[in-house]
């Protein structure tokens, strides 16, 4: 948690630098996630939200990104009286490039993953931290942004990853003026 706080503080300090060029924003977004590959066999459609920071670093249409989010997917096919869900909390650093209103983005970082299982008699949580990455394409009509992303966070060495395609809608808040 301390590393997450440190990353957020660094982003805030960087966006307030006077010598900064480019466009800086903060985004709040939500998404619907559709499990893919092996995850589609055991999980239902999920949902989540993100807080994202965008730091413009040149006169070119590009930004460094910081993403912190949460995604939850109910598990399907469980016996009566049992419920479970998969969740991931990614902390990702990335790069975004604009082509007019369209953009392409890649991210990499860490995913804090959890499986929560509850039955009529007990409940348990299994947690694991692993490498996480995402690829995103979208369109921005200021201040609204719509995108589609593929995200993958590994749970273990047996390829039981949290893999999903997410449809995102976000609202961007301008931080300072564009330079």
Q: What is the pLDDT of residues 10-65, one digit of tens each?
A: 555 554 444 446 789 999 999 999 999 989 999 999 999 999 999 998 888 999 99
The domain made up of 2-15+22-174 has a fold known as Porin (2.40.160)
The CA distance from 31 to 52, in Å, is 13
Say whether pLDDT at 9 is over 70: no
Q: Read off the pTM.
A: 0.84
Judged on CB neighbours under 10 Å (0-12, 13-18, 19+), 95 is middle
Q: What is the mean predicted confidence (pLDDT) over 104-128?
A: 94
Residue percentage of the chain with pLDDT more than 90: 73
Say whether pLDDT at 147 is over 70: yes
pLDDT for 161 equals 83
**Chain centroid, CA 49 distance in Å:** 8
Would you tell me how many other CB atoms lie within 10 Å of the CB of residue 81?
Answer: 9
The CA distance from 131 to 110, in Å, is 5
CA triple 42-111-170, angle to 5 deg: 90
The CA distance from 107 to 46, in Å, is 20
Among 7-16, 67-76, 110-119, where is mean pLDDT lowest? 7-16
Q: What is the mean predicted confidence (pLDDT) over 154-170?
A: 82
Q: What is the mean predicted confidence (pLDDT) over 108-129?
A: 93
pLDDT for 12 equals 54
Say whether pLDDT at 77 is over 60: yes
pLDDT for 17 equals 45
Q: What is the mean predicted confidence (pLDDT) over 69-76?
A: 96
Domain ranges, ordered by start, for the chain: 2-15+22-174
- Tokens matching residue 116: 């929560």
């Amino acid at each position: 948690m301390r590393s997450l706080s440190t990353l957020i503080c660094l982003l805030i300090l960087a966006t307030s630098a006077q010598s900064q060029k480019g466009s800086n924003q903060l985004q709040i977004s939500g998404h619907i996630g559709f499990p893919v590959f092996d995850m589609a066999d055991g999980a239902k459609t999920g949902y989540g939200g993100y807080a994202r920071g965008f730091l413009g670093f040149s006169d070119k249409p590009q930004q460094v990104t910081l993403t912190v989010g949460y995604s939850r997917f109910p598990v399907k096919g469980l016996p009566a009286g049992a419920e479970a869900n998969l969740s991931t909390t990614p902390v990702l650093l990335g790069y975004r490039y604009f082509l007019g209103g369209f953009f392409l983005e890649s991210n990499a970082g860490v995913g804090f993953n959890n499986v929560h299982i509850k039955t009529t008699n007990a409940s348990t949580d299994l947690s694991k931290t692993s490498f996480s990455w995402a690829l995103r394409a979208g369109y921005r009509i200021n201040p609204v942004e719509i995108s589609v992303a593929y995200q993958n966070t590994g749970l273990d060495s047996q390829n039981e990853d949290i893999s999903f395609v997410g449809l995102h809608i976000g609202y961007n808040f301008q931080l300072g003026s564009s330079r």
